[in-house]
Amino acid sequence: MTAFAIIGHLARTDGGFSLNDLPGSGGRMDVLCRCVNASLFLSHDLRRDVDCYLVLCGEPKGPKTVKFSGATVCSLSPDERSAGALIKKVIDIPCGNEFREAAQGVFIRKGGLERLLAERRFAVLDETGTDVREVKDLPDAYLLSDHLNFTEIEEELIRDCPRYSVGPKCLHADHTITVLHNELDRRRC
Ligand SMILES: C[S@@+](CC[C@H](N)C(=O)[O-])C[C@H]1O[C@@H](n2cnc3c(N)ncnc32)[C@H](O)[C@@H]1O
């Protein structure tokens, strides 16, 4: 099971954002929605062996973590609004510290990066890391940032995580996921 986790530093943590303005009112929720799509979609199919975690850190109730499970998600189509609509649907549903399925294949809980790292070993995707093409055994869980740098606190939490690069240039987070998928596909298929 492959996992991607993306930190949304400004991503809204209640339903007070508009699907017509995911970048502004959503706190760059558009970036996260594209990451969901890059993580889960093939052409006319879904990657059923992938989970995508969105760590929402913005106002007013952060942090919260939303998990899209490729194995069970439905009502998701490959456009930003569709993923955004599912996030909007689940974000205000009361939740505690354990994942609660709030829509089919979409789970939500309180808590953010620290909790996630305590549960699973993530590698950080970072253009300054080791080139994935030079790594014999790639891990199965990857952490990315959104349009912003990791904060000092996050850097401290991920200090001991391995760092891998998909190439020398700084890409958008969703493009990075696509390139990494391609590398994994070539090795597995
Ligand atoms: C748009 S970049 C982050 C913005 C950037 N840190 C800045 O503000 O200058 C989004 C994320 O994609 C990942 N990323 C981008 N390019 C990458 C590369 N060449 N290799 C691995 N990860 C990359 C990193 O996780 C990065 O935090």
Amino acid at 171: L
The whole-number average pLDDT for the span 177-184 is 98
State if residue 183 touches ligand 1 by the CB under 6 angstroms criterion.
no
CA distance 145 to 153: 13
- Strands 123-131 and 163-165, how do they pair? parallel
Provide the pLDDT for residue 61. Answer: 84
Report the CATH number at residue 15: 3.40.1280.10
- Per residue in 76-125, pLDDT (tens digit) is 999 999 999 999 999 999 999 999 999 999 999 999 999 999 999 999 99
The whole-number average pLDDT for the span 146-170 is 98
pLDDT-based confidence at residue 189 (cuts at 50, 70, 90): confident
pLDDT-based confidence at residue 62 (cuts at 50, 70, 90): confident
Provide the pLDDT for residue 162. Answer: 98
Report CA torsion sign: 177, 88, 154, 138.
negative
State if residue 126 touches ligand 1 by the CB under 6 angstroms criterion.
yes
Provide the pLDDT for residue 6. Answer: 98
Name the residue range of residue 157's domain. 1-189
Best probe residue, ligand 1, of 163, 176, 177 (max atoms within 8 Å of C-beta): 176
pLDDT-based confidence at residue 165 (cuts at 50, 70, 90): very high
Distance 95 CA to ligand 1 centre (A): 31
State if residue 173 touches ligand 1 by the CB under 6 angstroms criterion.
yes
Distance 4 CA to ligand 1 centre (A): 14
The secondary element (H helix, E strand) that includes residue 182 is helix 173-188
Q: How many helices (H) and strands (E) does the chain have?
A: 5, 10
Provide the pLDDT for residue 116. Answer: 97
Give the count of domains, the chain. Answer: 1
